Structure formats: C-alpha cells, structure tokens
Structure 1
Amino acid sequence: MSKRKLYTKAALTVCLVTGLFVPLDFQETKAQSNNEDYDFTISPKPKSIEKTGNGFPLNPKVGIVTEKDTDAMALLEVKGALEKAGVNKIIESDINNPLPDAPVLIWVGEFKDEDELKIVEENVGIQNIDINHKEGYIVSSGKSNGDKKDIVIVGNDAAGTFYGAETFKHILIEREGTDWIPEVEIKDWPTMPIRGAIEGFYGKPWSHEDRLSQLDFYGEHKMNSYIYAPKDDPYHRDKWREPYPEEKIKEIEELVKTAQKNHVTFTFAISPGNTITFSSDAELQVLMNKAQAMWDVGVKSFALFLDDINPSLRSPQDRAMFGIDANASAKAQAYLLNRFNEQFIKTHEGAERLITVPTEYYQANTSPYRKTFAELVQSDIVVQWTGIGVVAPSITSADADKIHGIFKHDLLIWDNYPVNDFDRNKLFLGPLVGRDSNLTPEHGVIGLTANPMNEAEASKIPLFTVADYTWNPESYDANYSLEQSIKEFAGDAAEPLKVFVDSSYAAGLNNSKEPFSENLKPLIDKFWAAYESGNVKEGADDLLNEFIKLKNTPHQLRNTLDNKNFLEEVNPYLNKMELYGFAGEAAIKMVLAEQENDTQAAMEQKTLLQNTMTEMAKIPQKLSLGVIPTFLDRVINGKNLAEGKIAKASSSEVSWLTPDLAVDGNNTTRWASLYTNNQWISVDLGQIYSINKVILNWENAYGKQYKIQVSQDGNQWTDVYTELNSNGGTDEIEIPSTEARFVRMQGIQRASSWGYSLYEFKVFETRN
C-alpha cells in the first residue's frame, strides 16, 4: 500500500528534537533512529503545539477507541491515514468495552461523559482534558500509563474531532520501515467562527465535479462554509421564481451531503432583487417554495442577496407602500428580509441565521439607504460586506468598527479575492494579504468567505492561504502559506508551479507585485547597461537563463503535475508563458548578433521575435510579467522615452491608480481616470525629441475615441493622430516624425461606463 508524500500537507514545521518552532523548508522526512529530527507540517497552523518526547514507531497493529457518537468522518479520516501509513490491522472498540489488544491505541471522540472522560485520562496519563472553544480539539501522542502507546484525538464537538483527525494525518511521518509518530500535544481552535468560500462570481459557474472537489478541499483545510451564489446560474438570479430541474436538485442534494461530511455549512443563496415585488405576498410564497425545495434535500442555511441591482422600486405596488425617497429601497428590502426570516427561517427548526448582502455593500460611509436598512432589518440577520471597495486592497479592524457602527448587524466578510470575473484574462494566484489579524466578533466580524476565481482548481492555491488566515490570523504568514500551498498542490511539480504562480501573482491586494518580474528587472537593467557600454555579452547569460526557464516551465508542469483539470484551466496561460520565453530568448540573441555585426543572424532573430509577438497577441490571457513587453518593445523600437518620466493626468479614479504607473515600464500597474469622457494623461519627456511612434497598452477601460497630441512647451498642443474606433488591447500608433517634449492622450469617448485606464503609455524616438 502506497504511503502519502509529506509534501501534501503544509503550514507549520516543527523541529521535534529541539522543541523549537522553526519555519524550516518543507521536506519529506525519512527517520532512521531516535536521534534524528522528525519534521512535519500542519495546515492551518495550530494555536499551540508542544513537544513531549521523541516519538515512537507506528505498529502495523493499531487499536481505535471511540464513543457512541464519535464523528463518522473523523473516524474514517483516522483509519484512512493509518492504512496509508502501512497499518494492516485495525481493531475498533467502544470505550465502555474492553480495550483493544494492540501496541498503539488511538482515542477518537468528544468524551464529554464524565465516566468516559475518566477512562481516557486514567489510560493515557492526561489530566483535565478541557476544550472550551467551538470546533477546538486536542491531539496528544505518546503519553500512557501502561506499556501501550496512546494517541488522543478529542474534539469540543463533532467538527473539532474531525479537525483533530485532519491534524493527526499531518503529523504522521513517513520513514523507512515503520512510520513514525512524534510525541506532541496540540491544542487548537479557530479564531474566525465562519471560514470558507462563496461561489459568487459572474461567468460560467463551477461544474458539479468542481464543487464536490472544493467541498473536500474545505474540509481538509478546516474551512466550514460554502455559499452557493453563482451569478450566472439562471435559477439563482434571472429565473429565481422558477424551480430547479429535478436533475439539478439531485446535484444540490449530493453537494449538501458532501458538505455535511466535511463539516461545511452549505448556504443556498437567491438573488431576486432585480425583478421581485418586495411587498407581494405571492412573490414571498414563491421565494419560500424555492427555499423549501432546498430544505427538503438537507439545506439548513439560506441567504437573500440584494447586491448589484438597480435600487429603484419598479413595481407600482412597492412605490405605493414604501414611497419614492432615498429610503424606499431599504424599506422594501427590509420588509422582504424580515418576512422571510419570520415565516421561513424561524419556522424551520435547525435553520441557520439568514444572510443578506445590501445593495450598498462596499461604500465607505453611511447614507439614507444604510441608515434605514440598519434600523429596519431584524438584528439576527447577518450582513455581508466586501470591505471598503468592491475589491478592497485592505480590510482593517478600524474599517470593520466603522461599518459595524453603520449597519449595526454582525458582519460576514465577502472577500472579493481571488475572484477574477472583472478581469477574465488574469489569474490571481498570490496569497491573501491586507487583512488585519483581529477581524473578530469584537469588531463586529463573524467570519470571512472568499469569492474564488471561475477556475476552480487554480482557486485552491490562494484559497489555501485563506484557510490559513481565517483559522489563525494571529500567526498568519502570507508568503510562507503560499509556499506550502504550492508544495501541497503540486508535489514533485512544486518548482515549475512556483514559477507559474510568480508569473500569475499581481493583484490590487499586493500592489500588483510581480515576483518573477522582480527577478527579471535587475537582470534587464544589467543587460541594457552592458549594451550601452558596448559589451552586451556581460549581461546576457543570466537574463537568457530566465527566459529559458519561462519557455521550459509549461512543458515541465504538463509532464509532472497530476491535475488534469488545473492544466486545462491554465492551458492558454501556459501557452503564453512559453511564447514569452521564446520571445525573450530571440530578443537577446538579436541584440547579441547586432553588436557582433552579424546582420543575417540579427534579421533571423528579429523575424522570429516579431512572429512570436504576433502569436502572443492572439492569446488574450495575461501573465504578471509586466517588464517583459517593455523589454521586447525596446529591442524592436528602441528606448521608450516615456519610461520613468514625469506624467500628469486630469484625474485619478482612486489614490493608488496614479499617472506615474502608466510610465513605470511595467505592463501590470496602471493609471485610471474618473468616469467622464474629457480626461487626459500626458508625459514630459524631459527634452525635445523627434518622435514617430506611440504605444498605448489599455486596461479593459479603454478609449473608444481619443487623440494623440504633442507640445514643445506643455501649453500649446497639436493633434498628430485621431482614433475613432479603437477596440482596446494595445494600440501601436505610427505618426509623422515630429519634434516634441510633451505627449498627451486626450480622451474623446470612453468604451465603457468606467473611465480611461492605461497599463503603459510609451513614446519612441524616430530611428533611421
């Protein structure tokens, strides 16, 4: 029977010989003697862990002692872990029966009965087994009052026992011969009461297979919540009145059962706000009928969502009942929520608290809507909140205090990370960052559910870090958590996956940080410095190796990573990464050939580079490799005169989307304007140049119509190009050679309701 590899578990490494908590590199441990270090990792990181001895070998014969109501899934997890570890005989016994005759005994359960607890304490030598925290557990190994070796997995409740079993799986150490059990005492519990994910994105919903896999993943990582709310499930939003087809009901029933096995609360959400008549008894009954169908297949948690809707009351019946002032929509929504709460939630014994999302869910301040909503919505209803901003770069306890003071309801964070429905051609694989460690009930926050990407398997990489954060935010280390996530997800393919993650990392949460670009940037600078000194070979080798790494990584991942669904999800990104590598390699060889006056070789490499860039342009997916397009542009067009120069703009959408980000040489950072047509951005080149090319690399908010203007003094502007039908992406604009110091993009007409947004604004000198 095969044994699990230790790279499949992550987040805490413990040196059991010294007893120190040391963040060592993850490794597979193969112990040989009692004098060796035995390293293991636990995810999420426990609150407390103490070494109590060196450990002992796991005998092929093991006894398991349970109580009457020991959690079935916890028991299955323990037995499965033992079988993977090579145990070939498991003897089970109830605690009130004679103990199994086995060298190793594992006690699994809650053991809250005083007589049963006394039996545990007398046999294993532990006094005062006391777990006061919901979902908390103790895992203790090695203590015993007799010749046997004992392992105790005791939970405060069924979920705690299950989580203890998950931790037990982590501490089993593979070695030659018999697997090893370290002697430790772990006391653990979660900080956030609610921890999980909300499938709340726009676009193609996850498949049934995806959801089942996600629920297993949540259980393994001690996440206890999943909210079903895919915006483009028609029966969730547009056709909310219509019952689900029978086959869909069966799928949801299977999801509910899988969630229950993993101690995950399955919340069924409905979003009726666009079309419902809030005051209608008939509409309320349709809503309750929809919920009842879910209740009948085991759903015990419900949400009514009112986000992303037109708050205006369309129904004459609603306008007559609630009025037409700024408070009307809040009154109507509160009326519906309260009636559903009273007539459905409170009439169904065992139902969880109702959850809602108000229409004003991200704003920073109060409003007439919010005041009325807070006053009228019943106090036991949970309010979801995204932080300040739809995708909040940070969520602080001060933010929570402020918003809790406005809504006066318990807040459940709807964290719009790592969701990518607003930029479907990017992946956000970096860790969760920017969230305070004390987002707790003391600040009005009862938990966090992360909105994942449309790509379900890829979402597991950042969701691993969400699980770490929500369980133990006090000890959360984002970078370390991501490292462990990669190792668990990829196993032997961890190294190439890290390259891919570092190339798909940048997001608003981490200031568009690009780990791979950070490695490339000094090498690119070194390359150009060597080029300008006339000896480009000195700076070429290291940079060339990085491009070769990009070129080879997709092949390595496809051949070593055993995750078909993930590889299908990221296939276009891998294709683009490979092309980036080919392009960079050709660019370096072209420059080397030029300096060696090998015209033929230079032309061959230039043709290869241009053809590769053409192929790259056909792939809309984007990687976090913002410095590479700038490098390639310079190879082909010469130096970008705008890079690093002073840029000004008519406005910035927010304080962190400033004009300097459009001239920083990075195609991931960006400037964005306010939401009006007459907006502009200009760059001061520092002196007068003869220029003949401008490149605009647009974000999704692009200019449909705009002008390129030039000036020598920054006051008098001349039109040199007018675009009347741009389709976004990259606009490469050839203009007649002209003398200019200042260059400006003057917007005429936006392509969307947003403003204008540029990743890069590039200007090139006329070349002979």
Structure 2
Amino acid sequence: MRILSLLLCVLTITFLQAQDIKIYPTPQSVKTNARTIVLDAPVFLNGAAEADTTAVEQLRLLLKSGAQKKSYTIYIGERNDRAVKKYDKFIPQVAGGYYLSITPAKTVIAGNDERGTFYAVQTLKQLVKNDTLPEIEITDYPTVAFRGVVEGFYGQPWSHKDRISQLRFYGENKLNTYIYGPKDDPYHSSPHWRKAYPEKEARQISELVALSKASKVDFVWAVHPGQDIQWNDDDRQALLDKFENMYKLGVRSFAVFFDDISGEGTDPVRQAELLNFLHDRFVAKKTDVTPLIMCPTEYNKSWSNPKPGTYLDILGDKLYPSIMIMWTGDRVISDITAEGLEWINKRIKRPAYIWWNFPVNDYVRDHLLMGPSYGLDLTVGQQMSGFVSNPMERAEASKIAIFSVADYAWNPAKYDSNAAWEKAIQVVMPHAADAFRTFAAHNSDLGKNGHRYRRDESVEIKPTIEKFTADYRKGILSDQLLKEIANEYQKIAVAGTSIRAFNDNPELIREITPWLEQFTVLGKAGLAVTRLLTLKAPHEIWKAYCEFLNLEAQRQAIDKKENQNPYQPGVKTGSLVMQPFIDTIASLIAARFYIQSGGNTLTSTATAEPQLYTDITQLKNQTLQQTSNTVAINPVLEVIKIGAGQYAGIELPQTPAALQLEAELNTAIGNWGKFQISTDGKTWEDRTPNSRTNTVITLNDKPVRFVRFCNTGKKDREIYLKKFILTLTASDDRLKELAFLQDGKLNTACPLSQRESITVVNPCSGQNTTVTILQNTSDPVSLKVTGFNSKGNPTELGIITEAYARLDCPAGITTLRLTSEKGATNLNEIIWRQN
C-alpha cells in the first residue's frame, strides 16, 4: 500500500496569538496554546488514496493552492491506514471518533472509521480562520451512537430541496441519522404503505440516500402500517416486499412505527413478532443493513400502562435485543430526565432511543419555536441508544434547534443550551445575526396548548417589563424602564427589514415571512403603546391610541390571512411577553382615559368566553380557537381514549340564535357514542349524526349552551378528534355593534357608513351633560349630532370633524342621532358625564 502525497496549497509557519476557540459540536478533549499557524507554504496530503474520499475532497476544497516554497504535510486516514498507523493509540475506539493534531511540523487527521475522518475534517473547517490554524490537539468521539432528526411531524412534509439542505447540514454538524417518516406521506403510512413509490418519488429517495452516504448519515426509511395492518402472511410479505423495494433504492436502515393508532394494530405481542420476523427474514440476511428501530404505541410514560407484564414489558421481553425502541419522555412533548430514562429502560430492557418532540410545532402551528433547546439532562448520554429531534414543518427554521441537538447528543456533559443557540443563529443567519437573534428571542414559546409544554421567551427584557407593569399599576411611571422597553420594541420593529436586507438564507426568509411581517407590526404596536404613556392631552392620547388600534387591525388581518391551516391557523409572535405587555398596558391606558373622559368607573369590560367542556384527562388542557362566528376545539393529533360516560364538547356563554356543529372523529361510533345538546349542562338531548364517523347538525329549534360528544356505552373507546366546530349565528349583529358604543371598551367600534344614521339613548336624560365622542377613521369625516327630547323635537348639537370631540347636551335630551354626512367612520365610544 503506497503513500500518496498531493501538493494542495502554499503555507509558511508563523506564530501569532491564538483566537478564542469554540468548536461545535463540543469536543470531548481539546488541548491548545496561544499560537496560530499562518498558511502560506506548500501543503502535502499524505494518505489520500486510503482515506475517506468525501473527507479528502472537502479538505482539498478547504486548503487552496498558492506559491510553492517548502512542504508541510497533512496525514489523513482511518485506523490501521499506513499514513496514520503510528497515531492509532490516540484515536478513540468509538464509532465516529477521531484524533486531530495541528503542530508547526505537521497536521494529523485520524479517524476510528471513515465517519471519524469525515468528522475531523468538519472540525478542521471550523478551525481555519483567515488562512490560519491554531496549534491544537483534539481527541473526540460521540457520546450517543445515533444522533439526528426524525421527520415525523403531521402536516406538509418537507420538500426534496428541504431534505437535501438538511442532509448537508447534518454532515457538517456530525449528525449521523435521518429518519424518513412524514405522517402525511401515503406510501409511508396508510393507505399505500404496501405499494412501491411512484417513479418520481423513488428517484428522489435514491438521490437522498446517495447524499446521505456522502454526508455520513444513515437514511432510515420508516413504515407506519398500524392503522390498517392485518396480522397475516399477506401483510408480512407486503412489508418484506416494501423493504426489499426500498433496499433497491439504496436504503440500508429501516424503522417500523406503531404510534398514534388504535385497534388491532396496538397488540404488543404481534408487534414484537413482526419486528423479529423482519429481522430474521430481512436484516439478518443482508450484510449491510443496520439494526431495526421501532416506535411503540405507548411511546411516553403518561400513556403507558404502569402494571407489570403489560405493553412495554412485553416488548422488552419479546423483541430481539438489537431492535431499538423509541421514547418521547414522560409525556408526548416532554423534557428528557434521568428518572424518566431509568423508568423506561428497566421496562424495555435496553437503552431507549429518544424521539424528542422539539422543535415540532404541529400542535401549535401558529407559532415558531426558535429559542434555545433546553430541558435535556446532561448526565444521561450512556442511558440512550439514540437521540433524534422531531422538527417543524419549516425545515430551515428548524435548524436552530437541530444545531443544538447535534451539540447535545455529541457531548451531553458539556452542553450549554444558550451558547449553542447563539452559535446556531450565527451559522444560519451570519450577516443578520443580531436581527435574527432578536426575532428568535421573541419567538420561543408555544402559547397555551393541550400538552402544557411551554418555553421561556423574551428572557432578557422580561424582568424589566414585569417591574414596569407592576409599578404602572401602582401609578408609578419609570422613565428609565420605559426607555429600555421602547428600545426593545424598536429592535423588533426593524429586525425583519434587516433580515430581509442581508438575505443570508432566502429559503428561511421565505418560510418565516408571515412571522417577520407580524413581528414588525408587534414592534410598531409596542412603540405606539410606549409613546401613549408619555402623552397628556386627551386629543393627543386618542390620536395615538387610534394609531395603535390600526396596528392591532393589521395584526389581526395578518393572523386571518396567513398560515391558514385547519389546526391552529394564523400567525402569533411575541405571545408570552411582548404582546401581553402591549395588551395589558393598552387596556390600562384605555381604562384610565375612559375615566378621565367622564366614563363610569363601574362600567364592566368583562366578556364571557366559550369554555372547553370535558372530563377526559387527556383533553383537560386542550385549547379553543375562535373567530367572529365559530368556536372550535383545537384538533388533537393523537388517539383520544374516552372512557364509559366521558365526554368532550363546548360550553357557550350565551345562547345563539342558531348553531351548527361539524365534527370529525374518524371512528365508527355505532350505538355507543352520542352527540348531545343541553341548555343547562344537566338535562341532555341526543342528536343523530349524519354518518357513522362525522356529523353536521344544525340546531335552530331550541336554545342551546352545551354541545358535546359522549361515550354512552359501557366500554372504554378510542376516537380521533380531528374536528369539533360550532358555527354561531348571533341574534342581531347590529344590536351588538350598537352596544359597542357604550360598553366601556375603546377598542370596540360601531361602523357607520356615509349618509347612515344611528340613534342612542341618553343615560343622563334630565340633566345637563357633556358628551365625548371618540371615532377612528382614516378619511375626513363630518358627523352631525342631533338631540331629541321626549316629544321627538330635534336640537342641532353640532358638527364633529375631529376624532376626539366634546359637546354639551342640554337637559331634556333623551336620544342622540349621529349622522355621517361625509365619509365612513368607526364610532368607538360615546361617554356621558353629568355637569
């Protein structure tokens, strides 16, 4: 075996003060000094013929040629290769491990295997800065054997372009696993898991497999047959045929998912028998196929039967030891703890393969999860067989979390979630990192959700906002705190423009554009509110408040237009701290302004809201979504277990004139399930659905405040809650709009078109009164105000052309008529004050 020396580039050895060195994923051991080597003399690559070809190719691209002066040697190869054989004792004997040494005399790149050599080159890429290298020695290896991503979310699967970008990103960050399991791929799951992929999709999978190999990533193809599997020879053969078909496309790693199913497919004995069968008949007969992975039906502790000898114990006893079992933690969406891993590992008799449901947002699709990846125990690296992140539908946006997952799974003991997050931002958006950091910092939380999983958000400004709000409620206005808050909203208002201007990552910008637009509005609204706090004159306050209302209208318009999915439609940003601050302060300003303008301090501003109505523990924290005329239970992606006598529905605060229920349960209800209505929540009346699984029921024959689905049978059942929507018809929309005129809320309005008139009752009839009229319009208006006494005799009180206007109303006036003689307007409030 001969040693190949290749002239690559020019290099001279010089010593300078070394820069601060931070490598990701964080290495196990790093030794360095305060010197760097300047590359300006010839470099020879020794061992290129034997070393991993991809690593060699990337090294050639990294070190460019120059003027030839004298030689400098880089030794590269895998354990036992001639070029690096004498360094074998320094190479960690762990899959993916490597030894990297850079000295003035030579550089050594030695991998335990081809992956290790490739990973060493990825580290070297980070060390090259402005044609210099640090003098350094790194001994490195992954703590967790399998590290990567499972594309296992509900919703629009990633595009082929997305997956190509992802696989390259995985290689660069030393991730070695990509599990292909998009829930909405019909050839991965029902109805077509038994069929071969069409030509186009098959070709794309082959391309992804080839790129995976070049990136040192296992492309794991997963099948999800449990929804309609038949435990017979035909379906076993169908799975073997599908695996063989995928093998011909280049796939060498496989998984079988039994998550989120009900019925016969959940039998643990048959699941174990099937997995063992696939091992015997397929994996064991191939020389190049990796061990199987399975996702169980009971994939988290809260859904697991705690009794000994049940589902998880059966899998632990009957599954071959080589088959890895996936686990999400104590709940579907969960932190990963040492206690939780100890619990599951004992039951399945092997280290769990962690499926971490972060940053997946298929249950909060109106939010982006861009914050740090924390909640991961730093001591459990040896207690897991694998660690994969389930990402968002938006592939590029998911890279912030995926970068951190790569750092964690490589070296959990040294993981710093905040440091990894900061670095991820620089990697994904290098030139607009400051602006993107602002965006990510305020787009971290999930909002209220049925899984009760929350994340920190707006961490740095949050204490300032909490202190300011508490002081303001006491009548204290801190100029310094207000300035800090306004500065943060200013950063928010301009962040989107900066991100777009640098255009570091066009695909990422495309993915998050609705949120960037909403983020800009958030910043402007925050600035409007902070400015409101500095104003004194009533007309200035109202003018500024109208500007704030217009921004609120923009926010609502974006929310109703963008990201209109059937689950959690809309666009939420800054929803934990920054938007609530705006809502709170604007409400306090409005209340004080209302009182100062003569409003009654006893005016109630509370509005009753619809409530979730259920006794099912799994649904207790599920949220509702509302529009102007609908109320819906947020759809649930997982199977719902509904016990005998249990129910799920909606309680309305008042009785609508008419109501329509549309439900989709994806389960044959038979005689055991009933849709029911009630006026008091005590006496119930059954309503017959129009099909065995779905229903549309119109209710306009009697008053209704409660609508539910109830398991009226004697056995526990399982349903899917894909849709439960009430469409409401108010008794009189115009009466409701007229009520807005005197409801004590400045953010509600009664629209008035040109030439239209409305009449309101004077609550202070019999006394001289000052009337304050507040309106919000972008067009010039001319509002004529006419008073009428009890006999209907009119008195012209004036013409209003300003948004904020006061006029005198003589005693004896019982009603006012307001007529828009020029332009349309929104009348926000009429405030009466006795003189």
Band of TM-score, shorter chain: 0.7 to 0.9
1:18 corresponds to: none
1:406 corresponds to: 347
Unaligned ranges ≥5, structure 2: 1-11, 560-569, 592-610, 623-629, 637-647, 663-703, 710-719, 725-741, 746-830
Report the structure number with the largest CA radius of gyration. 2
Alignment of 1:342 onto 2:280:
yes
Q: Deviations over 1:555-606 (max 9, x none)?
A: 111112311110011111111111111212222333433xx2141x222222
- Secondary structure of the residue that 1:353 maps to in structure 2? coil
CA shift, 1:723, in A, is 11
Alignment of 1:395 onto 2:336:
yes
Alignment of 1:170 onto 2:170:
no
CA shift, 1:726, in A, is 11
Alignment of 1:297 onto 2:245:
no
Instruction: Summarize the alignment of residues 131-530 of structure 1 with structure 2, pairs less than 5 Å apart.
Output: 131-142=92-103, 149-174=105-130, 179-238=131-190, 239-278=192-231, 280-312=232-264, 329-364=267-302, 365=304, 366-367=306-307, 368-392=310-334, 394-441=335-382, 443=383, 445-507=384-446, 512-516=454-458, 518-520=460-462, 522-523=464-465, 525-526=467-468, 529=471
What residue identity is the alignment partner of 2:75? W
Q: Deviations over 1:479-534 (max 9, x none)?
A: 11111111111112110010011011125999734442650552464367368647
1:571 corresponds to: 513
CA distance in 2, matches of 1:292, 1:701: 36
What TM-score results when the alignment is normalised by the length of structure 2? 0.67
What residue identity is the alignment partner of 1:65? N
What residue identity is the alignment partner of 1:155? G
CA shift, 1:277, in A, is 0.6
CA shift, 1:166, in A, is 0.8
| Cα separation, partners in 2 of 1:526 and 1:698, compared to 1, 3 Å | farther
**Deviating more after overlay: 256-265 vs 335-344:** 335-344
1:17 corresponds to: none
Q: Deviations over 1:93-125 (max 9, x none)?
A: xxxxxxxx9432111111515x6546xx5xxxx
Aligned residue among 15, 19, 22 for 1:41: 22
| Equivalent residue pairs, number | 611
| Cα separation, partners in 2 of 1:66 and 1:631, compared to 1, 3 Å | same
2:748 corresponds to: none
CA shift, 1:243, in A, is 1.1
Contact persistence 1:141–1:152 (CA under 8 A): yes
Contact persistence 2:41–2:70 (CA under 8 A): no
Q: Deviations over 1:617-665 (max 9, x none)?
A: 2311112332344333344433899xxxxxxxxxxxxxxxxxxxxxxxx
CA shift, 1:37, in A, is 3.6
- Secondary structure of the residue that 2:355 maps to in structure 1? strand
Contact persistence 1:638–1:765 (CA under 8 A): no
Q: Deviations over 1:536-567 (max 9, x none)?
A: 75654332222222111111111123111100
What residue identity is the alignment partner of 1:307? D
CA shift, 1:674, in A, is 5.4
Contact persistence 2:39–2:133 (CA under 8 A): yes
- Secondary structure of the residue that 2:419 maps to in structure 1? helix
| Cα separation, partners in 2 of 1:510 and 1:429, compared to 1, 3 Å | farther
**Deviating more after overlay: 239-248 vs 432-441:** 432-441
| Cα separation, partners in 2 of 1:552 and 1:520, compared to 1, 3 Å | farther
CA distance in 2, matches of 1:235, 1:200: 14
CA distance in 2, matches of 1:460, 1:384: 22
- Secondary structure of the residue that 2:254 maps to in structure 1? strand
Q: Deviations over 1:376-406 (max 9, x none)?
A: 22232111111121111x2222221211111
2:777 corresponds to: none
Contact persistence 2:79–2:88 (CA under 8 A): no
CA distance in 2, matches of 1:438, 1:671: 40
1:81 corresponds to: 62
CA distance in 2, matches of 1:470, 1:521: 32
What residue identity is the alignment partner of 1:274? Q
1:716 corresponds to: none
Alignment of 1:109 onto 2:109:
no
| Cα separation, partners in 2 of 1:723 and 1:363, compared to 1, 3 Å | farther
Contact persistence 1:266–1:300 (CA under 8 A): yes
- Secondary structure of the residue that 2:534 maps to in structure 1? helix
| Cα separation, partners in 2 of 1:672 and 1:282, compared to 1, 3 Å | same
CA distance in 1, matches of 2:545, 2:428: 39
Alignment of 1:631 onto 2:581:
yes
Contact persistence 2:13–2:38 (CA under 8 A): no
- Secondary structure of the residue that 1:402 maps to in structure 2? helix
| Cα separation, partners in 2 of 1:486 and 1:189, compared to 1, 3 Å | same
Instruction: Summarize the alignment of residues 714-729 of structure 1 with structure 2, pairs less than 5 Å apart.
Output: none
CA distance in 1, matches of 2:477, 2:19: 51
| Cα separation, partners in 2 of 1:722 and 1:473, compared to 1, 3 Å | farther
CA distance in 1, matches of 2:77, 2:109: 7
Q: Deviations over 1:717-750 (max 9, x none)?
A: xx899997899xxxxxxxxxxxxxxxxxx99457
Q: Deviations over 1:62-101 (max 9, x none)?
A: 1111154210111112111113xxx3379xxxxxxxxxx9
CA distance in 2, matches of 1:386, 1:346: 28
What residue identity is the alignment partner of 2:411? N
CA shift, 1:424, in A, is 1.0
Contact persistence 2:227–2:262 (CA under 8 A): yes
1:319 corresponds to: none
CA shift, 1:282, in A, is 1.7
Which structure ranks higher in relative contact order (CA pairs < 8 Å, sequence separation ≥ 6)?
Answer: 1
Alignment of 1:51 onto 2:36:
no
CA distance in 2, matches of 1:679, 1:506: 20
Q: Deviations over 1:295-351 (max 9, x none)?
A: 1121111111111111336xxxxxxxxxxxxxx812222222222221122222211
| Cα separation, partners in 2 of 1:284 and 1:299, compared to 1, 3 Å | same
**Deviating more after overlay: 627-636 vs 473-482:** 627-636
Unaligned ranges ≥5, structure 1: 1-30, 91-100, 144-148, 314-327, 642-669, 682-695, 709-718, 728-745, 757-763
**Deviating more after overlay: 73-82 vs 530-539:** 530-539
Contact persistence 2:355–2:390 (CA under 8 A): yes
Structure with the higher fraction of residues in helix conformation: 1
Contact persistence 1:520–1:546 (CA under 8 A): no
| Cα separation, partners in 2 of 1:548 and 1:697, compared to 1, 3 Å | farther
| Cα separation, partners in 2 of 1:532 and 1:753, compared to 1, 3 Å | same
What residue identity is the alignment partner of 1:460? K
| Cα separation, partners in 2 of 1:679 and 1:200, compared to 1, 3 Å | closer
Contact persistence 1:45–1:468 (CA under 8 A): yes
Instruction: Summarize the alignment of residues 117-128 of structure 1 with structure 2, pairs less than 5 Å apart.
Output: 117=84, 121=86, 128=89
- Secondary structure of the residue that 2:117 maps to in structure 1? helix
CA distance in 2, matches of 1:677, 1:349: 44
Contact persistence 1:704–1:725 (CA under 8 A): no
| Cα separation, partners in 2 of 1:527 and 1:680, compared to 1, 3 Å | closer
Contact persistence 1:420–1:426 (CA under 8 A): yes
Contact persistence 2:95–2:116 (CA under 8 A): yes
Contact persistence 2:25–2:173 (CA under 8 A): yes
- Secondary structure of the residue that 2:379 maps to in structure 1? coil
CA distance in 2, matches of 1:678, 1:77: 51
* Cα RMSD (Å): 3.7
